[in-house]
Amino acid sequence: MKHFTLDTDKDGIALITFDSPERSMNVLSQDVITEIGEWVTKITEDDAIKGAVITSGKSAFCAGANLEELGGQFSEVFAAIEKDEQKAKKQLFDMVFRLNTVFRALEVCGKPVAAAVNGLALGGGFELALACHARFAASDNPKLRLGFPEVMVGLLPGAGGTQRLPRMLGLMNSAPLLLQAKKIKAKEALSMGLVNAVVPGDELVAAAKAWVLENPKAKQPWDQDRFKFPGGGPWSAQGFPMFAGSSAMVRKESYGNYPAMSNILRCVYEGAQLPMDAALRVETRYFCQLLLSPKTQNMIRSLFISKQAIDKGGARPASQKPGAINKIGVIGAGFMGAGVAYVSAMAGIEVVLIDRDQDSADKGKAFSETEQAKRVKRKKTTQEKMDAVLARIIPTTDYNLLKDVDLI
């Protein structure tokens, strides 16, 4: 395998290490999904393997789907739709459902599987961890976060996230992670019950292996008889008002312009009333619906693919060398200008903030002072750091101060 290694120890525990070559971070591509299917089959059918632990060979666990690959598949799907719409949509469904198929095979393989999450696990990476029977998170990686950022690019968690998370946390507690793209740290994940333990990184695999040895007959809660949703299902005393409130919140925040949020609610509501296998098909159907939406395509292109190209200087003329922005001028100290001045000063950039009179310019800087004072009060920063941020903003009416700025 190109993206994974599988080593079995003397106790029969397979250590599966996710380490894609030539990439700084592991992502879920079609090739990776194929290999996951291969090692799931291996641990299922090999009698010498008693259980498995999956971890990463990089500082992050897995960053989720390969959106560049996903974006490239749009044009293929649309070209096929013009020829045979029904056939193309079925092909899209089957392609998306592949990951659900292998993750489902993993959790019903009949052997205990634990995830040793050593770093960032987002989107499909988090879904991979949730498909395991136990999760262990590193306590000493400050960048470790768990979450579903899909809604930020117009998508929904499409590999079981909208089904497994509510079955673990309950409908109410899962909503912020699904609808607001909230990312949580290891200790918060532990308190929520998303991970079994938080241990130092060098003890992570050992802790996961010990759990596997102690739980030879591990099964997911939803695959056990008489499983019930924590806190009750959609028609319970907690579930019904949650959906009513969430629907109102989604409408208020999106004005109906972001179908991903509504589709997430539909996935959770419909899936919660079905067995897991049927629920996963519901999720895939709504995921495909989003993939075919022009809004989603535009969001993925603008917020991810194009942004990466911009960050790498993809459109920069060869003759234009990279340059640093150390000082900027902002003309107009109103709400927008004051905000630009604030975020720039926070980033370490000096700002000349100009308005028609000194009082207006001073009011623009006062916005930064107010925001920084809130952060000091919440212990998000110190008075010393606040003073440094404010010192970078020069409120003035003098245009001569713009002569040495790098950008206006």
User: Domain limits of the chain?
Assistant: 4-298, 327-402
Q: What is the CA radius of gyration of the chain?
A: 25
Percent helix, percent strand, percent coil in the chain, to nearest 5: 55, 15, 35
20-24, 39-43, 386-390: least confidently modelled range: 20-24
pLDDT bin (cut points 50, 70, 90) of residue 166 is very high
- Least Cα distance to 70 among 299, 373, 336 occurs for 299
Class in CATH terms, 4-298: alpha beta
What confidence score (pLDDT) does residue 308 get? 61
Q: How much of the chain, in percent, has pLDDT values that exceed 70?
A: 92
C-alpha–C-alpha distance, residues 395 and 238, integer Å: 52
Amino acid 307 reads K
Mean pLDDT on 224-250: 77
**93 in Cβ contact with 288 (< 8 Å):** yes
What confidence score (pLDDT) does residue 96 get? 86
55-64, 314-323, 369-378: least confidently modelled range: 314-323
C-alpha–C-alpha distance, residues 64 and 127, integer Å: 8
**Buried/exposed code over 107-119 (b: 16+ C-beta within 10 A; e: otherwise):** bebebbbbbbbbb
Helix residue ranges per DSSP H, 28-160: 30-45, 67-83, 85-107, 124-131
Inter-helix orientation angle 259-271/161-169, to 10°: 60
3-state secondary structure of 344: helix
Token output for 200 = 């130092």
Mean pLDDT of the chain: 88
- Cα-Cα end-to-end distance for the chain: 52
C-alpha–C-alpha distance, residues 24 and 19, integer Å: 9
Tell which wins on pLDDT, 300 or 359: 359
Class in CATH terms, 327-402: alpha beta
> Which residues are tagged catalytic?
127, 150
3-state secondary structure of 20: coil
**54 in Cβ contact with 117 (< 8 Å):** no
pLDDT surpassing 70 at residue 311: no
Per-residue pLDDT tens for 41-71?
999 999 999 999 999 999 999 998 877 776 6
